[in-house]
Structure 1
Amino acid sequence: MNHNTPLTPAAARPARHLPGAQRRVLSTAQLRSLGVSPGERNEQCRSGGPWQQFLPGVYLLHQGPPTSEERLHAVLLYAAREVTAPAVPAQPEPGQPHRPGYREAMITGLAALTLHGFASAPALPSLDRIDVLVPRLRRLRSTGCAHVLRAAALPTPEEATGVPVAPVPRALADAVSQLTDAGTVRRLLSEAVRAGHCEPAAIIRELDQAKLLGRPHVADAVDALLAEGRAIAEDRLYAMVREFNLPDPVWNVDLRLPGGPHLGGLDAYWPQQAVAVELDTRAPRQDEDAMWSEYTRKREHLERLGITVVHITPRKLREGTEQQAAVVRTALMASGDRDPAAYVVVLPR
């Protein structure tokens, strides 16, 4: 008996619409919709029979261990409130396999990070259990390889290799909640930012909501993440100036009034045009209102002195570099139409 063993002849024809592993892993409800009676199901799962019950209400239509893909679909079938697509759907578009949807269930944690393509996440066959995220009020318990995690509000799932997975920030938080090795946590967080999966702010927000920032090894990893995230944003800012042929600014400077107070640090400054760029790399775990007030006060003070401040987030730099370059270029070109700025002292930061 191999992994391509079909359903019984009576049920084989209508199950052909299911792709790959989904043809070999079916729930009690799916089998019933395909005309398989409880007696026939029990007969197929008898000792030495061709099928096996893998999880409560979930059956493998072959003997032997499941593949990684089969385990994923089995866990989703177990956890989903229902499979939203009918067992016998309308004919799919040519070249488009029919994929049932799993309502109120998605893969999360390390398995989701692996499906998102994380090199630092373990291979699926090495995972003894697969984390699956469901609503908090679902009455469902962990069993076998299905490890149930709960959320007050489910995030919008993404699709990876044909299965619904939690977005990277949520998957990271669910993985980190179960990890005690500081090196592993740091590698996962670092890869999320370095590989462009998401920004540090989104990760820290999820870790904060999961109440994980109080763990010393997580706090240390977050500090390193913020430093790395800022370095990556600065590199993107340097690349933006170079690739879009903007005039060279002075980098990483402090401004002061002559003999007066410190005005604040800036990531880039064009003295002749009195235009500044400031990267917003605030950590969500900080008091956002207080931090935003500080940003606003500094910008308003500089603008009263005639200095234009362009405020850029790392996400804007990553997703809209050309647009941000156009904003800076417009500010530089408009400098000739403004009154001269006050004289300020520019110091290295």
Structure 2
Amino acid sequence: MNQNTPITPRPLPLTADRLRAALLHTRDSEAMITGLAALALHRFSSAPALPALDRIDVLVPRTRRPRSTGGVRVVRAQDMPEPLDLSGIPVAPVARALADAVSGLTDAGMVRRLLTEAVRGGHCEPGMVVRELNRARLLDRPHVVDAVDSLLAEGRSIAEERLYQMVREFALPDPLWNVDLRLPGGPHLGGLDAYWPDQAVALELDTRAPRQDDDALWSEYTRKREHLERLGITVVHVTPRKLREAMDQQATVVRTALMAAKDRQPAAYVVVLPR
């Protein structure tokens, strides 16, 4: 061969064919694409393009015994999620695909970018991501914990923006935003995302992440709510997912609580402080 003749690289298999070949490798009808390949199919801009991936991750039930090869990594699951059909390819949901991708990543920057895009791009809520990371026992890795902290901050910021949007677009009365309540000369009652003092209606965003201490944190939420309601304050509990998927319904819940105030006994006097 002439020394000056350019060497033509061997082309990668067509994307769809490569994905189907990875699924066929497992010989399992329940197999689905997961990890970075799945995120690429979910159109994550921060995930490598499919042709750039050295291997394809395939999720199979734990009881199956297919082996990984150079181009296919077999990931086993105790509980298989419901796959999504993307262009005829069974693909793991975003939260599960993220956990499987993160399990093989040591690049803290990429982990953070993937988790942030999941929330900012509206693919899923932070709690769903953290639940899968916890299930995969990845929350003991420092670079994952740092990324989760950023994810939760991003998720709360987006949820707060949607809350402001709900009040504005559905013409609800303006509340006092981000306040602390106290009894006069008494104990701290807790922080609230919004409070309508004339109607004694409080709103709290539930942005908890399902981690190891979730039960204790939920007990704290419950105690605060029960204490406020004993004082005659109505507490509306809203999740980021409800704000994203059914904002009109949440606005109706708040409006109903505000309108019902005139039929309730007057609430105890509380001191409202900025948080």
Return the TM-score normalized by structure 1. 0.75
Q: Pick one of 279, 282, 285 that aligns with 2:211.
A: 285
| Alpha-carbon offset, residue 161 of structure 1 | 2.0
1:78 is aligned to 2:25: yes
Moved over 4 A (4+): none
Structure 1 equivalent of residue 16 of structure 2: 69
| Alpha-carbon offset, residue 80 of structure 1 | 3.5
AA paired with 1:73?
A: R
**Partner Cα separation in structure 1 for residue 12 and residue 208 of structure 2:** 48
Q: Is the 8 A contact 2:12 2:51 kept in 1?
A: no
Flag the structure with more relative contact order, 1 or 2, with Cα contacts below 8 A and sequence separation at least 6: 2
**Partner Cα separation in structure 1 for residue 54 and residue 174 of structure 2:** 54
SS in 2 for 1:283: coil
**Partner Cα separation in structure 1 for residue 50 and residue 14 of structure 2:** 10
Q: Is the 8 A contact 2:27 2:66 kept in 1?
A: no
Q: 1:173 to 1:328 in 2, by over 3 A?
A: same
Structure 2 equivalent of residue 314 of structure 1: 240
Q: 1:191 to 1:157 in 2, by over 3 A?
A: same
The Cα offsets for residues 109-134 of structure 1, whole Å up to 9 and x where unpaired, read as: 00000101111111000001100011
Q: C-alpha root-mean-square deviation of aligned residues, in Å?
A: 1.2
| Alpha-carbon offset, residue 144 of structure 1 | 3.7
| Alpha-carbon offset, residue 287 of structure 1 | 1.9
| Alpha-carbon offset, residue 235 of structure 1 | 0.7
Which 5+ residue runs of structure 2 have no aligned equivalent? Answer: 1-9
1:137 is aligned to 2:84: no
**Partner Cα separation in structure 2 for residue 121 and residue 65 of structure 1:** 18
**Partner Cα separation in structure 1 for residue 91 and residue 195 of structure 2:** 42
SS in 2 for 1:214: coil
1:186 is aligned to 2:133: no
Q: Pick one of 17, 32, 43 that aligns with 1:117.
A: 43
Structure 1 equivalent of residue 97 of structure 2: 171
Aligned length: 266
Q: 1:251 to 1:76 in 2, by over 3 A?
A: same
The Cα offsets for residues 282-321 of structure 1, whole Å up to 9 and x where unpaired, read as: 1111422211111111111111111100001111111111
SS in 1 for 2:47: coil
Structure 2 equivalent of residue 126 of structure 1: 52
The Cα offsets for residues 242-296 of structure 1, whole Å up to 9 and x where unpaired, read as: 0111000000000001111100000000010100100111111142221111111
Q: Pick one of 275, 295, 316 that aligns with 2:221.
A: 295
**Partner Cα separation in structure 2 for residue 319 and residue 65 of structure 1:** 40
Q: 1:65 to 1:227 in 2, by over 3 A?
A: closer
AA paired with 2:24?
A: L
AA paired with 2:76?
A: R
More moved, 193-202 vs 144-153? 144-153
1:160 is aligned to 2:86: yes
SS in 2 for 1:196: coil
Which 5+ residue runs of structure 1 have no aligned equivalent? Answer: 1-62, 82-102
Structure 2 equivalent of residue 236 of structure 1: 162
Q: Pick one of 125, 128, 140 that aligns with 1:199.
A: 125
Identity of aligned residues (%): 76
1:258 is aligned to 2:197: no
Q: Is the 8 A contact 2:202 2:234 kept in 1?
A: yes
**Partner Cα separation in structure 2 for residue 291 and residue 216 of structure 1:** 22
